[in-house]
Amino acid sequence: MGSILLFASLLASHTTKYGVPTLLLFLFIGMLAGENGPGGIVFNDPKIAKFIGAFALSFILFSGGLETKKQDIQPVLWHGISLSTLGVIITAVSVGLFVAWIAHWSIVEGLLVGSIVSSTDAAAVFSILRSRSIGLKRQLKPLLELESGSNDPMAYILTISFTFLLANKEASVSTLLFMFFKQMILGGVIGYGMGLLMHKVFNWIKLEFEGLYSVLLITFVLFIFSFTDFIGGNAFLAVYLSAYVLGNLDFIHKKSLTKHFDGQAWLMQIILFITLGLLVTPKQLIPYLGIGLLISAFLIVIARPLSVFLALSFFRMHMKDKLFVSWVGLRGAVPIVLATYPLLAGVSKASVIFNVVFFISITSVLIQGTTLPLVAKWLKLTVPMNLKRKSVIDLEMAWGTKSIYKAIPVDASFHCIGKSIVDLKLPDTIIIALIERKNKFFFSDGATKIMNGDVLYVMADNEKAIENLYACLTA
């Protein structure tokens, strides 16, 4: 049954070219398979859903961090940090106060709802933009990617803080502040340290089979998440930061592992959304239709723009860019996963909160997701995407991108002898395609060590790149 649901999700992903967000389709398939749909599967265990959610999100965040390039986000680093911290807090407070007022709940209960829906999910955004071949001007894409990848930790800590307050009436503000700083400091330190450790281990360890390196990376992801959570740190922050650190360093099989993890992240997204679709009972959503629409409208029209404009008020930025970032505030799987925390803590109104949050996520994706290309074009922020045709040969070799070919004999004067190719820190303009050793040819990879007497067959963009290569080999 699980394999059939996965296959149905893969088929459904083709409809993104018609403007339907992939996230919504995966949720819909899960709901169809549930007890109110033709599938008839009864699933009402929030504990399992929370575990699957945490497991899946660790892979999704790691994949996002691995593909986040330092040079891309450098110009918008502080913009993204402001959105993922201050922006999340402003969203949580404004939505929380509105919920407390409209639903006649306590301030803490309202703030809990606001915290749960305070983070964004840009995965659906870029799947739509890519399916329509739409690019974005200036630094909008890296800004949105940075925000969506880094705002989950803040939403998580706010959610568990207000859940803790409701479950423990005697809890003090000092306890919450201690919890907050402990989570963020431990998550940051462990994430940065584990990123550097992974880089060292990957370039040091010599595994017999290339496929085992992906197993090693998965092992690290699971350890970073579970260890950080076990000692009281923010596991989401640790996973994302460790992947960001590793992804901006050279390590063996980097390109193939990055592509492999992208597939892992898609698998986890499908499993996560189907699980959440199974968990919800559509009939239970109907009573919350009115309040769900009100909160969703407030979030889209007031809370999100307010948080964006205030968080970005410290920086010079085009008004159109701020308006577009305000509209790209899709609530995805993370709010639904966070909504299971109050359920497990036995918080009053927890089931109501879960259903309201689920409804908010669906309406946010449906309204904002389907209109994204129109808003981008209306604001004149679109540019054609640079879609390069893929070579028949694996892109890792990048045969079709180089124009200079050269054979370089290695002699005793080269200081690179005995070093692995990954340790040479070669520029992107160069590829060592083949190595001749004792009259035998073989393909090289990052772990290949250069020996005296080797002949390196090199492809480069230009003659200047060849000069740079000589500097790397003889330095």
Whole-number pLDDT of residue 390: 40
CB 10 within 8 Å of CB 267:
no
pTM of the model: 0.77
Distance separating the N- and C-terminal Cα atoms of the chain: 58
Whole-number pLDDT of residue 450: 86
Lowest mean pLDDT among 16-20, 94-98, 320-324: 16-20
List domains and CATH numbers for the chain: 2-384 (1.20.1530.20), 399-474 (3.30.70.1450)
* Averaged pLDDT of the chain: 84
CB 89 within 8 Å of CB 310:
no
User: Could you give the count of Cα atoms lying within 13 Å of 103 in the half-sphere of its Cβ?
Assistant: 26
Q: What is the pLDDT of residues 119-169, one digit of tens each?
A: 887 566 666 655 555 677 778 888 888 888 788 889 999 999 999 888 887
DSSP 137-194: STTHHHHHHHHHHHSHHHHHHHHHHHHHHHH-TT--HHHHHHHHHHHHHHHHHHHHHH
Q: Which residue type does 451 have?
A: M
Whole-number pLDDT of residue 118: 92
CA distance linking residue 28 with residue 32, whole number of Å: 6
The pair of structure tokens assigned to 253 is: 């099989």
CB 126 within 8 Å of CB 63:
no
* DSSP-assigned beta bridge partners for residue 266: none
Q: What is the pLDDT of residues 192-250, one digit of tens each?
A: 999 999 999 988 888 888 889 999 999 999 999 999 999 999 999 999 999 999 998 88
Question: Above 80 in pLDDT, residue 388?
Answer: no
Could you tell me whether strands 404-409 and 382-384 are parallel, antiparallel, or unpaired per DSSP bridges?
unpaired
The CA-CA-CA angle for residues 234, 235, 241, to 5°, reads 95
DSSP 46-90: HHHHHHHHHHHHHHHHHHHHHT--HHHHGGGHHHHHHIIIIIHHH
